[in-house]
Chains A and B, each alone.
Chain A
Amino acid sequence: MSINLLALIGAMLTIATPLVWAGIGELITERSGVLNLSIEGTMYLGAFIGFLAAARSGSPWVGLLAAVVSGVVAGALMAFFVVTLGLNQHVSGLGLTLLLIAICEFTFRLLYAGDRPTLDDKFTVLFRGTEVLAQHWLTYVGFLVLAPVTWWVLRSTGLGMRLHAVGESFEAADVAGISVTATRYVALMVGSALMAIGGAFLTLAVLGSFTLDIVSGRGWVCIALVIFARWRVWPAVLGALIFAGMDALQLQLAITSAFDAVPGELMLALPYLAVIAALAIGGRTVRYPGSYLKAYRRA
């Protein structure tokens, strides 16, 4: 059995990229106390809008920009439901996911009626020819800029402190003069923009086209990763790498058919099962953000 280790690491980094972007997006919104189940739909929206804008303009940069804007809009919408109206977070998040996916599929069918369009120009990899370093710039930025900057912002800046205060105890934050509404709106809009970038990476960098199963549960993986990481940046990145590594290994095994004993589906199911196991073992000691799933209303 021969496994090309370098190719494996290269594939792992590519597969982990959308999980890092969207996972950090989810982490930011959850830090403010909002479980954002619209992540699956927001990634789908980013993937579709990114593709559409890139196809129409001929430039993947325009696509990426459009994806970011669509993510901000989706985040604002989610914030309107759960912050302004104070609706149940999981029902509105799930509803928004279903709505966004339906809108994208509707538009896709309308515009392309069954054929499979491809982009003329998509993002190309840097350092072509190497096995590990031949990655898209979004991969480099995700690991080397986004993750450390988010870590630093959450840990050492006033913005991070405000997010933490609102997420842990919104009454106390409000008394201290921090606007719960504004903080959660910003967290949801920024986080959703990152999720949309994660989705757009799939169409603009990896695939260069759009398919109806493009996201296929990656949003749910991110939810698992964030809780697995207990709302910390580096463990979430590590989790994304582990998941992506298993996915890459599974793909390589499927190609080489070295052994059929371990079905690929089992390896793909592992991250979900690992999160549930971690929750079970951690039990009551898993500290959810204090204002998790709650809407703020002044008494």
Chain B
Amino acid sequence: MKFVLRGHEPRWLAPVAVLVAVLVTLALTAVPIRLAGAAPLAAYERYLVTPLTSTHGLHEVLLTATPLLFTGIAVAIAFRAGYWNIGAEGQFLLGAIGTTWVGTTFTDLPAPVALPLGFLAGAAGGLLWAVVPAWLKRRAGIDEVVTTLLLNPVALLVVQGLLNGPWRNSSSGFTDSDRLGSGFDLPALIPDSRVHWGFGVAVVVIVVTGVVLARTATGVRIKAAGQAPRAAEFSGVDVGRLQWRCALVSGAIAGLGGASQVMGVQHQLTAGISDGYGYTGVIVATLGGLSAIGVVLVALLLGDISVGAQNVSLVLQVPAQLGAMFSALLLLAVLSAMSWRRYRLQWRPRPRSGGSR
């Protein structure tokens, strides 16, 4: 029995692989659920189904998915072009800083001016954080994985430095920034819910990205640059320039995510403004197959699980980290299952005909 490369991949294989991965993930998460003294089936229902059965639950899912939509599509754009941007976390934080800066400086602006300015400042912050690694990659061919990754802790230190120093809350003295001007509060997208217009902006960004990636020549070039850079270069695509642009767009979108979280949820800068959204964005983009629709589905799924996991922790006393465990397991299981697709099991090795291979 051995594995051999497949020549042809049947159509049913990818969905089956994903299904197997989901089942494996559910089976593996049953272990910690049991350890916590709960019944796995009841817990699955709570963290997958319950949030979707009430209006309030659905709203919370949309709210939780919002930052993941931004970071997920940001990472997806870069990965598609073959630019491994691991720095969405830092770009998200810089976006939050940019928005907080305009929001606490120009406190009297009315909403029609303030909101676009807030988003613009967020995008600029994210872009700024993406420029250095992208430029080093373009000018000197320096590997972007390490540079984008290392700027994440630097961004967090910048946030902490600002909150410990110049941006310390002027009335309470806590390490949170002052509140943004009221013009910077994103209005509710759905009345009487916490779902804010950041979700709407995320959807617009994703639809535009999806159309560009799937329906335009630029989209084709990006895909070519990512999958076969040499062939793309040979057929006249400037891969370096394309990756540079995708890297900047990716950073700007991650920055928009930070802006949305500040103006829509926290209304101030806090050290915990990003709950690892940039890192989770890598999961969202990868599981979503680097496509716009995939990013939406996975972000909603992870939002659902995250809201459900809160619920499970309250009702069944299973710690809420179950959600994070589930999403990381799902990522590794799906990637593993997909890698088997290229192989098939050969039960009886063919008799060798002379040569060693």
Give the interface of A toward B (CB within 8 A): 35, 37, 81, 85-88, 90-92, 94-96, 98-99, 101-103, 105-107, 109-110, 217, 220-221, 223-224, 227, 263-266, 268-269, 272-273, 275-276, 279-280, 283-284, 286, 288, 292-293
Contacts and interface: CB of A to CB of B under 8 A. Distances in A.
A275 B35 CA distance: 43
Interface of B: 32, 35-36, 84, 86, 132-133, 136, 140-143, 145-147, 149-154, 156-158, 160-161, 164-165, 276, 279-280, 282-283, 286, 318-319, 321-322, 324-325, 327-329, 331-332, 335-336, 339-340
Given A85-B336, A94-B282, A102 B321 contact: yes
A34 to B, nearest CB: 13
B169 to A, nearest CB: 17
Contacts of A275: 146, 150
Contacts of A99: 325, 328-329, 332
Contact of B319 (A105, A221, A265): A105
B321 A288 contact: no
Given A110-B36, A283-B140, A87 B150 contact: no
A223 B149 contact: yes
B335 A95 contact: yes
A227 B146 contact: yes
Nearest to A267: B157
A284 B340 CA distance: 36
Contacts of A283: 140-142
22 contacts: A81-B332, A85-B336, A91-B331, A95-B328, A95-B331, A95-B332, A96-B332, A98-B327, A99-B325, A99-B329, A106-B322, A110-B318, A220-B153, A263-B164, A265-B158, A266-B157, A275-B146, A279-B147, A280-B136, A280-B140, A286-B142, A292-B143
Given A85-B336, A98-B328, A106-B319, A276 B149 contact: no
Which of B151, B279, B328: most chain A CB closer than 10 A?
B328
Contacts of A268: 157
Given A35-B146, A273-B154, A280-B136, 6 more contacts: A98-B279, A98-B327, A99-B325, A220-B149, A220-B150, A221-B153
A254 B147 CA distance: 29
Given A90-B84, A98-B328, A276-B150, A105 B321 contact: yes
